[in-house]
């Protein structure tokens, strides 16, 4: 399966322990450097999890504010990227519980479809918009732990090791959650089985 690869390791271009030490000493520029190295992926993940630009922005901000305030607690046992993604997932999960007035999906799927046609790529068949909509709703309806795992793995390309680090679970747990998430999606799309069997 081709996935959008945004592995956590790709962010480790700078000497982060040194950067972190500088941030702890109050160096704002080091803070910006650390932010630049991780903010795009944090924003992406927040956006994937919320589907809302304003919320993604708010949660990205909250993630980094918390991270900088608690930076002294970061011991370096895990990579900084793992740590900051863990904060992101926590921030989003907590906030979304409150936000939870799950709005109707407003994504203009037609536009997305025309911008990124699914047909004609490596022989892939065109995805029925109804089926796509149904899948989106099924992903929305997944239990949060399954949904986060599925989004990180299948949509954002994180590895099981990375997800396990971010969520603080064993890799095996991560794999079984992904498996359960997919099973639920298949079940939700059972009505469309003929569609994607044809």
Return residues touching another protein (CB under 8 A). 1-4, 26-29, 31-32, 35-36, 39-40, 43-44, 47-51, 53, 56-57, 60-61, 64-65, 68-69, 107, 109, 112-113, 116, 118, 124-125, 127, 131-132, 135-136, 139, 151, 154-156, 182, 185-186, 189, 193, 196-197
CB-based burial of residue 98 (10 Å sphere; 0-12 exposed, 13-18 middle, 19+ buried)? exposed
Minimal distance, residue 123 CB to another protein, in Å:
10
Q: With left for phi above 0 and alpha for psi between -120 and 50, is residue 4 left, alpha or beta?
A: beta
Minimal distance, residue 160 CB to another protein, in Å:
16
Please say which residue, 48 or 177, places its beta carbon nearer to another protein. Answer: 48
Minimal distance, residue 171 CB to another protein, in Å:
20
Task: Output the CA torsion 43→56→138→116 (10° steps).
Answer: -60
Nearest to 177 by CA among 187, 189, 167: 167
Minimal distance, residue 114 CB to another protein, in Å:
11
Query: What does DSSP assign to residue 122?
Result: T
Minimal distance, residue 28 CB to another protein, in Å:
5
Nearest to 166 by CA among 186, 192, 145: 145
Please say which residue, 16 or 170, places its beta carbon nearer to another protein. Answer: 16
Please say which residue, 105 or 168, places its beta carbon nearer to another protein. Answer: 105
Residue corresponding to tokens 């304003």: 54
């Amino acid at each position: 399966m081709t996935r959008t690869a945004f592995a956590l390791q790709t962010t480790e271009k700078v000497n982060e322990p040194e950067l972190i030490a500088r941030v702890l000493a109050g160096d704002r520029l080091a803070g910006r450097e650390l932010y630049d190295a991780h903010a795009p992926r944090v924003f992406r993940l927040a956006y994937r999890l919320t589907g809302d630009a304003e919320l993604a922005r708010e949660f990205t901000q909250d993630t980094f504010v918390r991270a900088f305030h608690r930076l002294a607690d970061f011991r370096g046992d895990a990579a900084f990227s793992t740590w900051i993604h863990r904060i992101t997932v926590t921030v989003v999960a907590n906030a979304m519980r409150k936000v939870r007035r799950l709005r109707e999906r407003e994504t203009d799927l037609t536009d997305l479809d025309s911008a990124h046609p699914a047909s004609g790529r490596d022989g892939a068949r065109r995805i029925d918009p109804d089926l796509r909509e149904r899948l989106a709703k099924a992903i929305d309806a997944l239990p949060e732990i399954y949904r986060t795992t599925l989004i990180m793995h299948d949509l954002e390309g994180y590895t099981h090791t990375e997800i396990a680090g971010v969520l603080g679970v064993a890799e095996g747990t991560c794999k079984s959650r992904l498996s359960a998430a997919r099973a639920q999606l298949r079940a939700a799309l059972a009505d469309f089985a003929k569609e994607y069997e044809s």
